[in-house]
Amino acid sequence: MTAYASSTGAGREKGEMKTVVFASSLGTVFEWYDFYLYGSLAAIISKQFFSGVNPTAGFIFALMAFAAGFAVRPFGALVFGRVGDLVGRKYTFLITITIMGLSTFVVGLLPSYESIGITAPVILIALRLLQGLALGGEYGGAATYVAEHAPPGKRGLMTSWIQTTATLGLFMSLLVILACRLSLGEEAFGAWGWRIPFLMSILLLGVSVWIRLKLNESPVYKRMKEEGKGSKAPLTESFLRWPNLRIVILALLGLTAGQAVVWYTGQFYALFFLTQTLKVDATTANLLIAGSLLIGTPFFVVFGALSDKIGRKRIIMAGCLIAALSYFPLFKGITHYANPALEAAQTSAPVTVVADPDTCSFQFNPVGTSKFLTSCDIAKSFLAKSSVNYQNEAAPPGTVAQVKIGGTVVNSFEGHGLAAEDLKAQTEGFTKSMTEAVTTAGYPAKADPAQMNKPMVLLLLVLLVILVTMVYGPIAAMLVELFPTKIRYTSMSLPYHIGNGWFGGFLPTVAFAMVAAKGDIYYGLWYPIVVAAATFIIGMLFIHETKDHKIDVW
């Protein structure tokens, strides 16, 4: 084996290294932009493609289609990771970005449910699956490609630019959507203007492919192939041989699981919390999130570079620990400054649902057919939709549920067995009584912009993003350094995408379900806190520092 420096490009021109980083990062930004458009427009997409069911079920379908893209990411990691180790890094992520760009472009052309019926959501979900598969192969290729070009002592710095791409892609999608909304107006945007951000993908695809075609294969991979040392069975060597499988499992549980929940809590769940829980208007919430991303993104590079000096592990572990300890005060602070009226109402007029526990369902209805008509379900459904925090109090069996709001008590009703007209009349009467009681108690229907302390909300959101940069900035370099060249693409991609696709991607859905079941708007935070804490413990005990590892090891 020749000298390490020559194989990793220590003597390569700075201009060439910049081209490698720029081309890899730019393409990955566009790919994340494509992926996140759907999540940012889930409410509109539910109306366009799932209008054949009731609105609540339609929104659930839209969220599930969004989640489907995350669910298949590990399978994309297996498929394209194998191709990347067998054929090469460059050509593999040319394939992935083409699939992603074309899939996103077709969403912009897809007729609605009203035009072609059930075919519309079927095609939409198929396109989301293709996007997830493509993204599963993209990240590992880009991170591996850059790391294998980087000189020793700068892998953290160079790969940290790849780490900015997910945040920049989200930022870019939010800005494009906001620009379209403001220029077209809400009515036109909801009718047809939402398609524009998707259609723009074809331009981004053209630029990305053109730039990536100019790149050469990774020097480390190229030399390995020239020496005939490549793997003939990357999947077998990665996952069916215990020494490497052990590292894969530790990379998942001791690194990427915690990194993923911190990433999604600091960006996606923060946006969800602002809009759905605190009822901040969408434009203001998107601007605040975009501002926090703009301020916080440079810290990806800061922590990536710092990891070259003090190590990757201690920065990632510190980020997980601080997140686990700070999420409750940070999100309570966001409530205090974004919607003080809601915080005041929770203190002065606590809400309690008194009901027979056996009549309270876990109100998750993925197929849109179940009807939640017990008095408990009806009461909790109203409170959840109104973002009212509540406590649960057990009542004797057979008791009709009551809602206590401050000093007011509102009786719910049993919907089972009622004729459609009677059910409608009862629902309208209960809704009217509850609305009056909630309003009288001081619970706001929306956050009041005049009462919002936007600088403080922005500061707290920036702190959340900085935690994201701590766990995410150094992790690409660390994952690359954990595995040998011949199976690196395959081995690192799977734990990354299980961590981010499953632990992270399902965080908003799981957290919201926990909030609805418990009645506490902060209860969903236990999910990222427990996962981040577990990663901290496992990582500290079993993960070794990698910053000085050689990566030209076949």
Q: Spell out the domains of the chain, with CATH numbers in brackets.
A: 4-338+450-542 (1.20.1250.20), 344-440 (3.40.30)
Is the pLDDT at 381 greater than 90, yes or no?
Answer: no
Q: What is the pLDDT of residue 512?
A: 74
| Cβ atoms of 512 and 67 closer than 8 Å | no
Residue 5 has pLDDT above 60, yes or no: no
CA distance 213 to 370: 51
- The region of weakest confidence among 193-197, 336-340, 401-405, 549-553 is 549-553
255 pLDDT more than 70? yes
Res 58: pLDDT: 60
* Higher-confidence position of 239 and 204: 239
Nearest-Å Rg of the Cα atoms of the chain is 25
Which residues, other chains included, contact 116 with Cβ-Cβ below 8 Å and sequence gap of 6+? none
- Cβ neighbour number for residue 231 with a 10 Å cutoff: 21
Question: Per-residue pLDDT tens for 267-306?
Answer: 889 988 998 889 899 889 988 998 998 899 999 999 999 9
> Sorting pLDDT into bands at 50, 70 and 90, what band is 441?
confident
Residue-wise DSSP of 90-110: HHHHHHHHHHHHHHHHHHHH-
**Sequential DSSP letters for 278-334:** S---HHHHHHHHHHHHHHHTHHHHHHHHHHHHH-HHHHHHHHHHHHHHHHHHHHHHH
Between 24 and 326, name the one with better pLDDT. 326
Q: Which two tokens stand for residue 222?
A: 């190229």
Q: Which helix (H) or strand (E) holds 378?
A: helix 375-385
Taking 70 as the threshold, does the pLDDT of residue 88 lie above it? yes
Q: Cα separation of 481 and 445, whole Å?
A: 51
- Smallest CA-to-CA distance from 265 within 232, 300, 289 is with 289
Tokens (6 digits) for 270: 């923060």
Nearest-angstrom CA–CA distance, 8 and 552: 7
Q: In the prediction, which pLDDT does 492 show? A: 92
Least confident of 202-206, 301-305, 315-319, 544-548: 202-206
Cα–Cα nearest to 319, from 294, 337, 302, 338: 302
406-415 per-position pLDDT tens digit: 788 999 999 8
| Closest of 211, 215, 94 to residue 146, by C-alpha | 215
**For the chain, what is the mean pLDDT?**
87
Label residues 213-225 b or e (16+ Cβ within 10 Å = b): eebebbbbbbbbb
The pLDDT of residue 21 is above 70: yes
d(CA 111, CA 123): 10
Q: How confident is the model at residue 2 (pLDDT cuts 50, 70, 90)?
A: very low
Quick check: 507 pLDDT over 50? yes
Please give the average per-residue pLDDT across 388-412, as a whole number. Answer: 90
Mean pLDDT on 429-456: 91
Closest by alpha carbon to 108, among 205, 212, 209? 205
Q: How many CB atoms lie within 10 A of CB 5?
A: 12
Rounded Cα gap, residues 475 and 477, in angstroms? 5
> 32: closest CA among 58, 3, 70?
70
Ranked by mean pLDDT, which of 338-352, 445-459, 503-517 comes out on top?
445-459
Task: Write down the pLDDT at residue 56.
Answer: 52
- Strand-pairing partners, residue 79, are none
- Strand order in 408-411's β-sheet? 391-394, 351-355, 402-405, 408-411
| CA 542 to each of CA 19, 503, 507, 529, 537: distance values in angstroms, whole numbers, following the listed order | 36, 20, 25, 20, 9
Residue 52 has pLDDT above 70, yes or no: no
CA dist 344 and 338 (Å) reads 12
CA distance 464 to 295: 11
Give, in order, the Cα–Cα distances in Å from 371 to each of 56, 377, 518: 11, 9, 20
Residue 545's pLDDT is what?
96
Which tokens hold the place of 166? 């997910």
Distance CA 541, CA 151 (A): 29
* 119-149 helix and 89-109 helix, angle to the nearest 10 degrees: 150
What average pLDDT does the segment 534-545 reach?
Answer: 97
Model confidence pLDDT, tens digit, residues 143-178:
888 998 888 899 999 999 988 887 888 888 888 988
